[in-house]
């Protein structure tokens, strides 16, 4: 379990870093984010709030660890079910996805070359 902390409260941020130690990593490397505010990210967010959230303030270290473990297990379960759905897709769907990816990559490359040649880079 790798966690990033994005909190407005400096006190909460330091407490989380103290409680979680080596589980704290940079945002790009994390499985999910702990935050004390509602934010939209491309990764799952575990909210800590005084009343509404995954964990209410005040909390103990053991409560934090239990709730984080529940949250992470739920994420793994959702991810496994999504992987199962993707494996049920017919092979032709994968071929279509590969063709679309190849076309968008080629378009991106052509667009970059056109922009560079226009500006003389």
What is the pLDDT confidence band of residue 88, given thresholds at 50, 70 and 90?
low
Peptide bond into 95 cis (omega under 30): no
Q: How far apart are CA 47 and CA 87, in angstroms?
A: 32
What is the pLDDT confidence band of residue 4, given thresholds at 50, 70 and 90?
very high
What confidence score (pLDDT) does residue 101 get?
86
pLDDT tens digit string along 41-74? 889 999 998 878 888 888 899 999 999 999 999 9
Q: Is the pLDDT of residue 94 over 90?
A: no
Q: How far apart are CA 92 and CA 100, in angstroms?
A: 12
What is the pLDDT confidence band of residue 90, given thresholds at 50, 70 and 90?
low
Peptide bond into 99 cis (omega under 30): no
């Amino acid at each position: 379990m790798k966690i990033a902390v994005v909190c407005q409260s400096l006190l909460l941020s330091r407490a989380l870093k103290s409680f979680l130690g080596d589980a704290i990593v940079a945002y790009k490397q994390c499985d999910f984010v702990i935050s004390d505010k509602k934010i939209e990210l491309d990764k799952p967010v575990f909210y800590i709030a005084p009343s509404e959230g995954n964990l209410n303030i005040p909390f103990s270290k053991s409560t934090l660890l239990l709730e984080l473990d529940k949250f992470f297990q739920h994420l793994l379960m959702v991810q496994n079910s999504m992987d199962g759905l993707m494996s049920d897709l017919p092979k032709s769907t994968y071929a279509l996805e590969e063709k679309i990816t190849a076309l968008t990559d080629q378009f991106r490359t052509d667009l970059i070359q056109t922009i560079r040649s226009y500006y003389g880079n």
